[in-house]
Homo-oligomer: A and B are copies of this chain.
Amino acid sequence: MTTVDVPTLVAQAREGRPRAVARLISLVEGASPHLREVMAALAPLTGGAYVVGLTGSPGVGKSTSTSALVTAYRKAGKRVGVLAVDPSSPFSGGALLGDRVRMSDHASDPGVYIRSMATRGHLGGLAWAAPQAIRVLDAAGCDVILVETVGVGQSEVEIASQADTSVVLLAPGMGDGIQAAKAGILEIGDVYVVNKADRDGADATARELNHMLGLGESRGPEDWRPPIVKTVAARGQGIDELVEALEKHRAWMDEHGVLDGRRAARAAREVETIAITTLRGRLADLHGDARLDALAVRVAAGELDPYAAADALLDGLTEA
């Protein structure tokens, strides 16, 4: 095992050194022996970043929109982190490759940190790994973190919905309204984007969306009303309006004390996921464990019932 100097890595990440950030993310992704040390070091440095989730069906232009947002935030002097979550493959092919090329406009900018994450089957999966990577980017001093999910599956929606602000993207002529309803993303959007708004049907999509959102629970005067922003991300059109909508939502959350609650809820999910993953690991270690074997022999002999044996096993589990 190579020696890892966590305090130095964290200090370098704070200075904005990309390699230190990359190393830290690898450490937290890979369940390294230093994971806990890294997490403990990062904790006091977190909470400064504004986390924006972007979700939507393939082809709506998520990566293009993310890239356009990076440009806008960079113009405003912000440090930006991008976490692109692709659960389907360790290598991004096809459409994604194009996305990455577009994203590479920012590759040489030291104020932008971009990380792709392909984590299907990875320990606790996306729900486990994504929050850890966000913590690293947060502690490294990013002002804004854009979490782009490729699919519209349950775990992707979950990740996006755990952002401070969730952006749901649609595009005209894809029957997106119904798809969105099916995927459950009409419940999670704080801001809606109809991208490719120069195409036929953009107004119809926006109207349909407006109608569907209106069908939700009635809102009080203090409640947040999700705005619908029309963009042509590939040409940067509407991006300033999108940033404005995000900032409005952020200000509304601050004003109404919503942000702390959201972050506490996100932390609760995170802690719970880690606890479950930890327990699974401990249980997996029980295969071949002498204590389980001894209990099993007694159960097989009828001296002990399996529930009493499971209780005895669990009593020792937190000490594992």
Contact = CB atoms under 8 A, between A and B. Distances in A.
Interface of A: 35-36, 39-40, 42-47, 131, 135, 260, 263-268, 270-272, 274-276, 278-279, 283, 286-287, 292-293, 295-297, 299-311, 313-315, 317-318
Contacts of A274: 306-307, 309-310
A315 B314 contact: no
A267 B44 contact: no
A300 B43 contact: no
A128 to B, nearest CB: 10
Nearest to A295: B271
20 contacts: A40-B308, A44-B303, A47-B302, A131-B306, A265-B296, A267-B295, A267-B296, A267-B299, A267-B306, A268-B292, A270-B296, A270-B299, A271-B295, A271-B296, A272-B283, A278-B311, A278-B314, A279-B279, A279-B317, A317-B317
A7 B265 CA distance: 46
B47 A301 contact: yes
Contacts of A305: 36, 39-40, 42-43
A155 to B, nearest CB: 18
Contacts of A300: 47, 260, 263-264, 266-267
A164 to B, nearest CB: 11
Contacts of A306: 39, 131, 135, 267, 270-271, 274
Contact of A272 (B135, B286, B303, B308): B286
Dominant secondary structure of chain A at its interface with chain B: helix
A267 B295 CA distance: 8
Nearest to A298: B267
B268 A35 contact: no
A268 B283 contact: no
A202 B305 CA distance: 44
A263 B318 CA distance: 27
Contacts of A309: 267, 271, 274
Nearest to A270: B306
A314 B279 CA distance: 8
Given A264-B296, A267-B299, A270-B299, A35 B307 contact: yes
A307 B295 CA distance: 30
Question: What 9 pairs between A and B have smallest CB-CB spacing?
Answer: A268-B296, A267-B299, A43-B305, A274-B310, A39-B305, A263-B300, A267-B296, A275-B310, A267-B300
Contact of A302 (B35, B44, B317): B44
A46 B310 CA distance: 18
Nearest to A260: B300
Nearest to A297: B264
Contacts of A47: 300-302
